[in-house]
Copies of this chain bind each other. A is one copy, B any other.
Amino acid sequence: MATSDPVYLRVVEDIRRQIIDGTLPPGAPIPSRAQLTRKYQVGETAARHALRVLAGEGLIIGRVGSGHYVRDRPVLAPLHRWRFLDRPAPFAADLQAQGRRVTWDWHSEPVEAGPDLGRRLKVDGSATLTRTHYIFRGDGKPLQLATSYEPLELAVHGEDERRGLVARMHTLGIKITEVVESVHTRPPRPAEIDALHLAAGVHVLHVERTHWAGDRPVETSDIVIPGDRFRVMYSMPL
């Protein structure tokens, strides 16, 4: 234990420990800035910075006018950072960053939600959604597929589809606050083998992603990525 660690880290580590070991359960209030300065004998800057770090880690959430609280949902990791959320696919931007030319095509049509999508988007099964199929290509070769579903009243048509979801929602006055993803592996469906030129025996990564604005889901998508040739490099600053 280095004695000259920044003081804000003392606060961060103490609160983080309490959250992880359950002393501060989900929903519990975190001391306010003013209380932290007194409790830990630090300046307001340090207290504020500690709260920001914990919020950035997703352990706590700040509510203006009320306070900071331990998040109730386990907040873990995204498959990509938020600046890349504004694309329909998690990995297309990554490849772009690696210098490969990524292009994509899409087409949209209205569909009935059905029970499964109804649950994912918290709408009635008979509601109409806009379904958009995407195919991403890197240097011409197929990379990944994505199918996105949005409630009809939120979908914007025409040229606007080129813009990302976050930007489009922004113009509607809706702020995306959260993204939830789940990932699993499965054998490809025939259409996927075809579209992605999959070799025999190769499975796919299936990412199910939902964008939330508060407690309301505004978009959900299924992203299908070939499981063999695809090795994405992530890296992360500590």
Contacts and interface: CB of A to CB of B under 8 A. Distances in A.
Given A184-B227, A203-B185, A228-B185, A234 B78 contact: yes
A77 B234 contact: yes
Nearest to A56: B56
A182 B78 contact: no
B233 A181 contact: yes
Nearest to A225: B185
Interface residues of A, number: 61
A61 interface: yes
A59 to B, nearest CB: 7
Contact of A238 (B76, B178, B181): B178
Given A61-B237, A76-B81, 16 more contacts: A56-B56, A58-B237, A71-B237, A75-B235, A76-B93, A77-B78, A77-B81, A82-B236, A177-B237, A178-B235, A179-B236, A181-B233, A182-B231, A183-B205, A203-B203, A208-B231
Interface of A: 2, 16, 20, 55-59, 61, 71, 73-85, 90, 93-94, 97-98, 166, 170, 175-187, 201-205, 208, 227-238
